[in-house]
Amino acid sequence: MSLFIEYGYTSLNKYGEELCGDKVEYCIEENHLTLVLADGMGSGVKANILSTLTSKILCTMVSNDVDIEDCIETVIQSLPVCKIRGVAYSTFSVVYINTEGEGFLFEFDNPQAILFHKGKCVDFIRCNSEICGKKVFHSQIKLEENDLLFIMSDGAINAGLGQIMSFGWQRENIMKYLEQNITGEMSARCCAGMLAAACDDLYLDRPGDDTTVAALKIRKKLAVNVMVGPPVDKSQDNFYVGRFMDGDTKKVVCGGTSSQIVARYLNKPLRTSFDFPDKDVPPIGFIEGIDLTTEGVLTLRKLLTLSNKYISTHDLSPKFFVKQDGASLLANMLFEEATDITFFVGQGVNAAHQSLPIDITMKLKLVESLANNLRKMGKNVTLNYD
Q: What is the pTM of this model?
A: 0.91
* Mean pLDDT to the nearest integer, 165-184: 87
* Residue 134, pLDDT score: 84
Instruction: List the helix and strand counts (H, then E) for the chain.
Output: 9, 18
Mean per-residue pLDDT over the chain, rounded: 91
Query: What domains can you pick out in the chain, each with its CATH number?
Result: 4-219 (3.60.40.10), 223-385 (no CATH)
In this prediction, residue 291 has a pLDDT band, given cuts at 50, 70 and 90, of: very high
* Residue 88, pLDDT score: 62
Taking only the tens place, the pLDDT of each residue in 198-218 is 999 999 999 999 999 999 999
Query: Is the CB of residue 62 less than 8 Å from the CB of residue 96?
Result: yes
Query: Is the CB of residue 103 less than 8 Å from the CB of residue 97?
Result: yes
* Residue 184, pLDDT score: 83
* Mean pLDDT to the nearest integer, 292-311: 95
| CB-count exposure of residue 244 (10 Å: 0-12, 13-18, 19+) | buried
* Mean pLDDT to the nearest integer, 123-141: 90
Interatomic CA distance for residues 95 and 368, integer angstroms: 31
Nearest CA to 224 out of 331, 380, 342, 376 is that of 342
CA angle 43, 45, 47 (to 5 degrees): 45
Phi first, then psi: give them for residue 336, nearest 5 degrees. -95, -35
Q: How many CA atoms lie within 13 A of 257 on its CB side?
A: 17
pLDDT above 90 (res 169): no
* Residue 68, pLDDT score: 85
pLDDT above 60 (res 183): yes
* Residue 386, pLDDT score: 83
- Where do the H-state alpha helices sit in 203-347? 237-245, 256-266, 297-311, 326-331
* Residue 40, pLDDT score: 92
* Residue 312, pLDDT score: 95
Backbone conformation region of residue 229, classed left if phi is above 0, alpha if psi is from -120 to 50, else beta: left
* Mean pLDDT to the nearest integer, 162-184: 85
Alpha carbon 52 to chain centroid distance? 20
Proportion of the chain in helix, strand, coil states, percent, rounded to 5:
35, 30, 40
Interatomic CA distance for residues 289 and 311, integer angstroms: 31
* Residue 350, pLDDT score: 61
Cβ-based neighbours of 151, under 8 Å, separated by 6 or more: 35, 37, 93, 95, 105, 107, 110, 113, 213, 214, 215
Interatomic CA distance for residues 347 and 103, integer angstroms: 44
Interatomic CA distance for residues 333 and 272, integer angstroms: 20
* Mean pLDDT to the nearest integer, 7-19: 95
38 three-state secondary structure: strand
- The percent of residues above 90 in pLDDT, for the chain, comes to 73
pLDDT above 60 (res 355): no
50-59, 232-241, 369-378: lowest mean pLDDT where? 232-241
Taking only the tens place, the pLDDT of each residue in 77-131 is 888 766 666 566 889 999 999 999 999 999 999 999 999 999 999 998 999 988 8
* Residue 42, pLDDT score: 85
Q: What is the residue type of 180? A: Q
Pairing of strands 340-345, 127-131: unpaired
Taking only the tens place, the pLDDT of each residue in 32-89 is 999 999 999 888 998 999 999 999 999 999 999 999 889 988 988 888 766 666 566 8
- 141-144: long-range pairs with CB below 8 Å, 24+: 141/95, 141/97, 141/101, 141/102, 141/103, 141/104, 141/105, 141/115, 142/101, 142/102, 143/97, 143/101, 143/102, 143/115, 143/216, 143/218, 144/101, 144/117, 144/218
